[in-house]
C-alpha cells in the first residue's frame, strides 16, 4: 500500500537513518523545503522536494496544504500507569513541605502505590489509555512507560500487564520498563535487602518469563536506593539480558551516573545534580563499545518541584548528546506534552530551540536505542510524524508556549 504526502512547506529532521547528535551537532538542522514523503506499508520509501520527481503512480495522495512536518516526538521516560493524581501533596508542597519530607511521611510514591494496589487492572488500563491518547494528540508517537507504583509482586505485574495491553492495542511504539526499585515499601523500611531480594527472586523471573519489560530501572538517589543496591539489581537484570535506564542524581551527587555507566545503561535520567565527575563518567561511557549512556534531562520535574535543572548546556559544551523527556507522573511532573518540555528547555535550560528539538526526537530515540526506527524522517524509518500549522515550527512551538501546535499525528502513515 503506497501513500504520498505532499505540499509540505518544510520537512524537519531529515537526518540519515540511525542519527543521534552530540555537542555542537545538536545545532545542525536538516530540513527539506517544499517536500513530499512516499510511504509504503507504514515505512518511508522516499523523500523529495521537486514536483517533477513526485511519484505519479501512487494510489492515495494526501495534500498537507503547505503545513510543516516534524518527526513524531519520542518520550523516553514516563510513568503513565498510575491510579490517582496527588493534588493534596501539591498543596502541601506549596505550603512549604519538600518532596523528600512528603515521601518520608508515607506520601509520594508510597501514596501512589497504595491507591494503585487497590485498583483493578481494567480501570488502570482505561486511565493509562486516556493519558496515552492525550500524548498522541500532543505529537508524541513513541512512549516509554515505567512500572514502580506497585511495589508488591502482584501490583508491579499488574502495571506491566497494562503496558503490554497498550502495546497490543496501539500501533505507536510503546516500550516498558520495570521499576520495582522505585521506593522501599513501608513494611521493608527496616529490611531493605528483603525488598531487593523480592525484586530479584520474585518479580524479575516472572517479568522475564512473560516478556513484560524491555528495560530495568532503579531510583538511585538520596533516601531511595544506594549505589550498591542499584548495582546488585542491575547485575541480576543483566543476567537476563535486560538493559538498564536509571533515575540518577535528582536529589544529590549520589553516584547514580557512575553506576549507570559501569552497568552500560542505555540512559541516566534526571541529572539535576551533576558536576565534573558525572560529565567525565558520561564521556567515558561514549568511548566504550556498548555505545554510551544517554543523559536525559526532565525539566518538567524541575519546574514542578522547584529544584535545579539538569546542566544540559554543559553536557553539550563537553561534546555530549542530550535527550529530554516529560517524566509524566502524578507526583513530580503531571505533564503530558513534549512541546512544553521543548519550551522549558529553551527558557529554563537555555538550550537553543533546534537543540531541544533534537533532544525530543532523534536523541530521545537513541535513549531507547530506537534511532533506526524513529526520531528522524529518512528512507527506511517508520512514517511516524506530526503536522503543524505553526510557521517556522522549530522556533514557533517553544515560543508560543502552552498551546498544542499539533494539527495531526500520523503513526505508520495513518492518522490517529
Ligand atoms: Zn521518573
Query: Ligand 1 centroid vs 182 CA: distance in angstroms?
Result: 9
User: How far, in Å, is the centroid of ligand 1 from the Cα of 54?
Assistant: 44
Q: What is the pLDDT of residues 18-57, one digit of tens each?
A: 999 999 999 999 999 999 999 999 999 999 997 778 888 8
**Cα-to-centroid distance, 178 and ligand 1 (Å):** 12
C-alpha 191 – ligand 1 centre gap (Å): 24
What is the whole-number distance in angstroms between the Cα of residue 247 and the centre of ligand 1? 6
For residue 16, give the C-alpha cell.
Answer: 540519515
Q: Are 299 and 339 in contact (CB under 8 A)?
A: no
Give residue 60 CA to ligand 1 midpoint distance, Å: 41
The CA 7 to ligand 1 mean position distance, Å, reads: 39
DSSP string, 59-114: SEEEEEEEEEEEEPEEE--B----S---HHHHHHHHTT--HHHHHHTT-THHHHHH
- Cα 309 to averaged position of ligand 1 atoms, centre (Å): 14
Distance (angstroms) between ligand 1 centre and the Cα of 49 equals 41
Q: Which tens digit of pLDDT belongs to each residue from 314-355? A: 999 999 999 999 999 999 999 999 999 999 999 999 999 999
Whether pLDDT at 382 is above 80:
yes
**Residue 407 Cα to ligand 1 middle (Å):** 28
Question: Where do the domains of the chain lie, and which CATH numbers do they carry?
Answer: 2-71+375-415 (2.30.40.10), 73-367 (3.20.20.140)
pLDDT at position 290 is: 98
* CA-based nearest residue to 109, from 147, 140, 77: 147
pLDDT of 52: 76
- Give distance in angstroms: CA of 22 to centre of ligand 1: 23
In 212-347 the beta strands, taken as DSSP E runs, fall at 215-220, 245-248, 267-270, 294-297, 323-324
pLDDT at 98 over 90: no
Please give the distance, rounded to the nearest whole angstrom, from the Cα atom of residue 325 to the centre of ligand 1: 9
User: 414: alpha, beta or left, given left = phi > 0 and alpha = psi -120 to 50?
Assistant: beta
285 within 8 A of 247, measured Cβ to Cβ: no
pLDDT band of residue 59 (cuts 50, 70, 90) is confident
CA of 146 from ligand 1 middle (Å) equals 8
Amino acid at each position: 500500500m503506497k501513500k504520498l504526502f505532499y505540499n509540505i512547506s518544510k520537512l524537519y529532521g531529515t537526518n540519515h537513518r540511525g542519527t543521534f547528535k552530540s555537542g555542537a551537532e545538536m545545532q545542525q538542522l536538516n530540513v527539506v523545503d517544499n517536500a513530499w514523503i512516499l510511504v509504503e506499508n507504514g515505512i518511508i520509501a522516499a523523500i523529495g522536494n521537486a514536483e517533477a520527481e513526485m511519484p505519479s503512480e501512487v494510489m492515495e495522495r494526501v495534500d498537507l496544504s503547505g503545513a510543516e512536518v516534524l518527526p513524531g516526538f519520542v518520550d523516553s521516560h514516563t510513568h503513565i500507569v498510575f491510579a490517582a493524581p496527588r493534588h493534596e501533596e501539591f498543596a502541601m508542597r506549596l505550603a512549604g513541605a519538600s518532596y523528600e519530607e512528603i515521601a518520608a511521611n508515607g506520601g509520594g510514591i508510597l501514596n501512589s502505590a497504595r491507591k494503585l494496589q487497590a485498583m483493578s487492572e481494567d480501570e488502570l488500563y482505561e486511565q493509562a489509555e486516556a493519558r496515552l491518547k492525550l500524548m498522541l494528540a500532543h505529537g508524541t508517537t513513541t512512549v516509554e512507560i515505567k512500572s514502580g507504583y506497585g511495589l508488591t509482586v502482584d501490583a508491579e505485574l499488574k502495571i506491566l500487564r497494562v503496558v503490554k495491553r497498550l502495546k497490543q492495542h496501539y500501533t505507536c511504539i510503546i516500550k516498558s520498563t520495570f521499576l520495582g526499585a522505585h521506593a522501599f515499601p513501608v513494611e521493608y523500611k527496616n529490611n531493605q535487602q528483603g525488598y531487593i531480594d523480592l525484586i530479584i527472586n520474585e518479580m524479575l523471573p516472572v517479568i522475564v518469563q512473560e516478556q513484560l519489560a524491555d528495560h530495568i530501572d532503579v531510583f538511585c538517589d538520596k533516601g531511595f536506593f544506594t549505589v550498591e543496591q542499584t548495582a546488585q539489581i542491575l547485575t541480576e537484570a543483566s543476567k537476563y539480558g535486560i538493559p538498564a535506564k536509571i533515575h540518577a542524581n535528582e536529589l544529590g551527587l549520589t553516584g547514580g551516573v557512575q553506576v549507570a555507566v559501569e552497568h552500560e545503561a542505555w540512559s541516566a535520567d534526571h541529572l539535576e545534580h551533576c558536576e565534573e565527575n558525572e560529565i567525565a563518567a558520561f564521556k567515558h561511557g561514549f568511548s566504550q563499545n556498548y555505545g554510551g549512556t544517554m543523559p536525559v534531562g526532565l525539566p518538567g520535574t524541575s519546574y514542578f518541584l522547584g529544584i535545579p535543572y539538569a546542566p544540559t548546556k554543559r553536557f553539550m559544551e563537553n561534546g555530549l548528546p542530550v535527550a529530554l523527556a516529560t517524566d509524566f507522573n502524578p507526583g513530580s511532573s503531571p505533564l503530558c506534552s513534549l512541546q512544553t518540555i521543548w519550551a522549558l528547555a529553551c527558557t529554563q535550560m537555555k538550550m537553543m530551540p533546534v537543540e531541544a528539538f533534537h533532544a525530543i526526537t532523534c536523541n530521545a530515540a537513541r535513549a531507547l536505542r530506537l534511532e533506526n526506527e524513529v526520531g528522524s524522517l529518512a528512507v527506511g524509518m517508520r512514517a511516524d510524524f506530526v503536522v503543524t500549522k505553526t510557521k517556522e515550527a522549530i522556533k514557533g512551538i517553544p515560543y508560543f508556549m502552552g498551546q498544542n501546535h499539533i494539527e495531526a499525528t500520523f503513526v505508520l502513515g495513518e492518522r490517529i
